[in-house]
C-alpha cells in the first residue's frame, strides 16, 4: 500500500482528546493533525517524537492526518488503525501467509451473525469457510510486540465469536498485524488485559488459529513482509 500523497515530517507536541495531535512542521508552522487511533498508543506519543503526516483531502476539517512515528534503529510504526486491514487484504490476496494456504472468494466485512461482522471471509482449497479477524499491534515491550495495549472488551468479544465459529466447523483465524517494522515476535499482553488473555486461551482450545503478520514500513509505503511468530503463552499478569 502506497500513500496517496508524499508524507510530511513533523515533531509531536502533544496528543489529546484521543483524535487530535499538535505538531510542528519542519518550517516551524504549528498545526493540529487528526490522530486516527483511539487507543493508548503506549510508547508512540512522546512529545518530540518525529512523525510523518499525510495531507488531508480537500474539505477536511484538519489539514493533515498522522500516519507514522519513527522508532529507534531506523524503524517506523504505523499509528493509523485503518491501514492494517488494507495490509491484511494484500497479504491474503498475495498468499503472504503460507499457513493459510491459497484462499478464494475473499470478502471484506462479511456478516458473521445478526449484528456481527468479521473483517474477512474466504474459502480455502478444500472449500471450507475461513473467517479472519484482524488486529493492529503497536505496543512493544522487552523485545516483544504485544496485543492489546489497553483493555479491549471488543477484542475479547471477537475471540468469543471466532471460538463459536470454530466449534461450528468454520476455520477461524485471529490475524495480528504488527504495525511496527521492528517486530520479530508477538504475544498477548496478559498483564494489561487478563480477560483478553483468557479468551485467547479459550479460543485456541476451540481451534482458533493465531497468526502474525510482519510489515515493512517506510515514509512511502507499507507492505506485508511475511509470517510473524506468535507465542501461545501470554505475558503473565
Closest CA to 132 of 83, 165, 154, 167: 165
Average pLDDT over residues 86-110: 92
Residue 190's pLDDT is 96
Q: Any idea which of 28-42, 56-70, 84-98, 111-125 has the lowest mean pLDDT?
A: 111-125
C-alpha cell at 207: 481451534
Flag whether pLDDT at 113 surpasses 70: no
What tens digit of pLDDT does each residue of 207-225 get? Answer: 999 999 999 999 999 999 9
CA distance 167 to 150: 28
Q: pLDDT at residue 95 above 90?
A: no
Statement: residue 69 has pLDDT above 90: yes
pLDDT at 80: 97
DSSP state of 126: T
Kindly report, residue by residue over 16-67, the tens digit of the pLDDT.
999 999 999 999 999 999 999 998 999 999 999 999 999 988 778 999 999 9
CA pair distance 60, 71, nearest whole angstrom: 29
Shortest CA distance to 193 belongs to which of 11, 74, 42?
A: 42
Partner residues linked to 146 by β-bridges = 139, 187
- With b meaning 16 or more CB within 10 Å and e meaning fewer, what string describes 207-218? ebbbbbbbbebe
What are the tens digits of pLDDT across the range 150-197?
A: 999 999 999 999 999 999 999 999 999 999 999 999 999 999 999 999
Of 54-58, 119-123, 229-233, the poorest mean pLDDT is in 54-58
pLDDT average, residue stretch 84-100: 93
**Which structural domains are found in the chain, ordered by start?**
8-78 (2.40.50.580), 83-228 (3.40.1350.60)
Go through 19-53 and write b for each residue having 16 or more CB atoms within 10 A of its CB, e for each that does not: eebbbeeeeeeebebbbbbebbbebbbeeebebbb
Q: What is the mean pLDDT of the chain?
A: 94
For residues 147 and 134, is the Cβ–Cβ distance under 8 A?
Answer: no
* Res 114 pLDDT > 80: no
Amino acid at each position: 500500500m502506497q500513500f496517496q500523497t508524499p508524507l510530511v515530517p513533523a515533531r509531536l507536541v502533544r496528543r489529546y482528546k484521543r483524535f487530535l495531535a499538535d505538531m510542528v512542521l519542519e518550517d516551524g508552522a504549528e498545526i493540529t493533525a487528526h490522530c486516527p487511533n483511539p487507543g493508548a498508543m503506549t510508547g508512540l506519543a512522546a512529545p518530540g517524537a518525529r512523525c510523518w503526516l499525510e495531507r488531508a483531502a480537500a474539505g477536511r476539517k484538519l489539514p493533515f492526518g498522522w500516519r507514522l512515528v519513527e522508532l529507534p534503529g531506523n524503524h517506523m510504526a504505523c499509528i493509523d488503525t485503518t491501514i492494517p486491514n488494507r495490509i491484511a487484504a494484500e497479504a491474503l490476496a498475495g498468499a503472504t501467509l503460507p499457513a493459510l494456504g491459497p484462499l478464494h472468494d475473499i470478502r471484506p466485512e462479511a456478516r458473521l451473525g445478526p449484528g456481527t461482522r468479521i473483517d474477512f471471509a474466504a474459502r480455502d482449497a478444500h472449500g471450507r469457510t475461513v473467517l479472519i479477524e484482524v488486529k493492529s499491534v503497536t505496543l512493544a515491550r522487552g523485545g516483544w510486540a504485544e496485543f492489546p495495549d489497553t483493555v479491549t472488551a471488543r477484542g475479547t468479544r471477537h475471540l468469543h465469536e471466532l471460538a463459536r465459529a470454530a466449534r461450528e466447523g468454520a476455520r477461524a483465524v485471529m490475524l495480528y498485524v504488527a504495525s511496527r517494522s521492528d517486530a520479530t515476535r508477538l504475544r498477548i499482553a496478559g498483564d494489561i488485559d487478563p480477560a483478553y488473555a483468557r479468551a485467547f486461551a479459550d479460543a485456541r482450545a476451540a481451534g482458533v488459529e493465531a497468526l502474525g503478520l510482519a510489515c515493512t514500513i517506510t515514509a512511502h509505503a507499507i507492505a506485508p513482509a511475511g509470517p510473524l511468530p506468535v507465542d501461545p503463552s501470554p505475558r503473565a499478569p
